[in-house]
Amino acid sequence: MEFTRQEMMAIATGREIRDGDLCIFGVGLSMLAGYFALAYHAPNAISMTEGGVYGATPVGGLPWGIEDNRISANATCFSNAIDALGFLVSSGKCDLGIIGAAQVDKFGNVNTTGFWTDPTNPYFGPPKTRLTGSGGANDIGSGCKRVVIMMAHELKRFAAKVDYITTPGFLNGGNEREKYNFPGGGPVAIVTTLGILRPDPVTKEFMIDTYYPFSSIDEMKANTGWDLKVSPNVGITPEPTAGELEALRSVDVTGMLKKK
């Protein structure tokens, strides 16, 4: 079956969800990946939004926001952001979170705050481009046991060092994250439109784990702003099966993937 880069990315991200996981994901492609997993291979995973809508599945298509009626109509529980982010996520009880990124660096730090003309200047002035900010991503990146970053693989987005750390990955690498007592384990994968990156177990620098059937190691390297290393066990990401594509497209009622 034919499939797009966005469909490959959504399915590859959804495969990171295990049956029984308590998951939190925001709107957009991350939510599509999450609900694909619930529909296909992880029926006992539990969804949660940043606003505290718990145990729901979308009705009539994916929601435009985290408390849209499409997701709240059949929720198991309604709570609030303090319960969702302040208790479940920040206590380390949430198994997996999926977040997006405008910019990411080699240690999985995420920037969704802005871009600066000179990000090395210690006196931050107004950014040349102001982005949407953190939302709940900082809480998710700090508190979830596993974090998956989902984004387009473009040179301008993959920087050796982000302009601003909105959401911590492994900071400067190694065991530095452990110094700050984050309850979560940090990012386990960066799933992109070209392949999947995973952190080196010692240095925590992200490297190519697998590349998609339609991409290559050279293409991933060419679209990365640091000397992207390759895992010694590098391979090709399995293509979506017919069943996976059918489940994904059944969730994507409003055609979100077609708009990308």
pLDDT in tens, 117-136: 888 887 878 899 999 889 89
The structure's pTM equals 0.95
Helices and strands per DSSP (H, E), number in the chain:
7, 14
Residue 239 is among the residues annotated as catalytic for this protein? no
Residue 258 binned pLDDT confidence (cut-offs 50, 70, 90): low
Give CA angle at 12 (182, 248), nearest 5°.
120
Task: Place 1 in a pLDDT band, splitting at 50, 70 and 90.
Answer: confident
With contact defined as beta carbons under 8 Å apart, do 51 and 66 qualify?
Answer: yes
Residue among 157, 141, 227 nearest 192 (CA): 157
Q: Does the pLDDT of residue 154 top 90, yes or no?
A: yes
| Chain mean pLDDT for the chain | 93
Catalytic position from the list 2, 7, 16, 50 = 50
Band of pLDDT at residue 237, cut at 50, 70 and 90: very high
Q: Can you give the pLDDT at residue 137?
A: 94
* β-bridge partners, 225: 159
Contact 167, 232 (CB under 8 A): no
Is pLDDT of 236 > 60? yes
Which structural domains are found in the chain, ordered by start? 5-259 (3.40.1080.10)
Nearest CA to 183 out of 148, 146, 133 is that of 146
Rounded Cα–Cα distance for residues 72 and 253 (Å):
17
pLDDT per residue as tens digits for the range 22-40: 999 877 888 999 999 999 9
Alpha carbon distance 83, 214 (integer Å): 42
At 65, the pLDDT band (50, 70, 90 cuts) reads confident
* Residue 232 pLDDT exceeds 70: yes
